[in-house]
Each structure stands twice: as structure tokens, then as C-alpha cells.
Amino acid sequence: MNSSRMILKQEIMGPMMNFIYLIGCPESKDAAVVDPAWDTPAILRLAEESGLKIRHILMTHAHPDHMNGLEQLLKDTNALIYLHRDEVAYMKECGDATGIPTAFMHDRSDNFRIVEDGDTARIGNLSVQCLHTPGHTPGSQCFMIEGNLFTGDTLFVDACGRVDMPGGDAGKMWHSLNRKLRALDDSTVIYPGHNYGSRKTSTIGEQKETNPFMSFTSTEEFNRAMGM
């Protein structure tokens, strides 16, 4: 999707049907990649074909299937990396079991921008709002850009991310979905981290109607549905 305000490319990469996003500012040609994984050369080609320069990397969370292209992309672009503070603590706790080795974070510390809920960043003339949505991991976050929400593994089309892996928390996921994201404008377009639904995008309004995980009135109901 291209518009006068934003260039947006959505690509499926890897065996887990990850969505990789390239977001660009039409005026400055600056761009960000959301969750670079699986095929760094393809991501770089996409940016070149779109006339964009990758200067930012937006990380929804640090699982390997979302970040296994980060090291190579950083070598090629020296981009700034936006990661939630709670994800940093989670990564230190898990060691190198997440997608980013701790030694790499130390060596590349100048590239990391540690963010909190509500912080903003800029991609050229585009404003990026960081929304902390824990549940899949402690530092999972979504990115709001021009009415578009990049949800990682927090919210899928008609589903949500797992909460049974290290760092998962069903109660926090319920709150992220049924309080934080449900409160957004119905017209907000969602772009999930995996192609697991019947369509590649949806809206918050549609998900309120069709996504059962955004309809539970209590954490107890949500936990039962998640098999917790």
C-alpha cells in the first residue's frame, strides 16, 4: 500500500509465514523494517526497488523467527533499533535463547533505542507511536503509524499470540487485547506478525466482532480459552 503519507510493503517470508514490513516516508525516503527475519537480501532488494533507505528497525519482540535477520541487516544499514525496555530485561534473563545474542546487543549498544509505552519515534516525516502490549513476551509492543497498527505476535487476524512459552502471561495478554487494543479507533488497520488468518489485514472494528480473544470479559474466560 502506497499513499501520499506512507509507503508500505507487506511480504511473507520464512517457514512460519512471517510478515515482514517495510515502511517508508515518501518525502525523505527514510524507511523502517518491522521484525526483519529470514531473508535479509530480499528485504534490502525491496527497499532498493522502492527507492527507500533503511534507517530504522522496529522490533515487536525478540523471538528468533522475528529477528533472525537483524544482525545482517544492521551490518548492511547501521540502522537504529527500537526495543521495549521490558524486552531487554527478558532477553538478559533468557540469555541467547531469544533472537538477539546478548554479546551482539553489547557490541551494538549505540544502535539500540530503548523505548517505553507511549514513546514516539520518527521515520522521516512519519510519527511512530510505541504501544506496550505484554502477554506473548514481557516487552511485546505494537507500532502505530498513520492509523496503521503493526501488532507482531500480540494480535493476529481472528486470533492472538501464544502465552505458553517463556515470558508469556495470559492475564497480561487479555489486558493488552481487551483493554488496550480494543480501546483504539475501530478504523485502525492491523498488520499482524504472521499470515495465520483468512486475510492479511483487518481492522480493530472487525476484530471486535470476529476475534474471540478480544471478546472475553474476564481473565478467567481468556485463560480457559487459551488452555491455561
Q: What tens digit of pLDDT does each residue of 148-192 get?
A: 999 999 999 999 999 998 899 999 999 999 999 999 999 999 999
Q: Residue 106: what pLDDT?
A: 76
7-225: CATH topology is Metallo-beta-lactamase; Chain A (3.60.15)
Closest by CA position to 24, among listed 38, 216, 39, 1: 1
Tell me the whole-structure pTM to 2 decimals.
0.94
Cell of 43: 528485504
- Average pLDDT of the chain, as a whole number: 93
How is the chain split into domains, by residue range?
Answer: 7-225
Closest by CA position to 19, among listed 3, 41, 34, 2: 34
Q: What is the pLDDT of residues 195-223, one digit of tens each?
A: 999 999 999 999 999 999 999 888 888 88
Q: Order the strands of the 189-192 sheet from edge to edge.
A: 120-123, 126-132, 141-145, 148-152, 189-192, 202-203
* Dist. CA 173–CA 176, nearest whole Å: 5
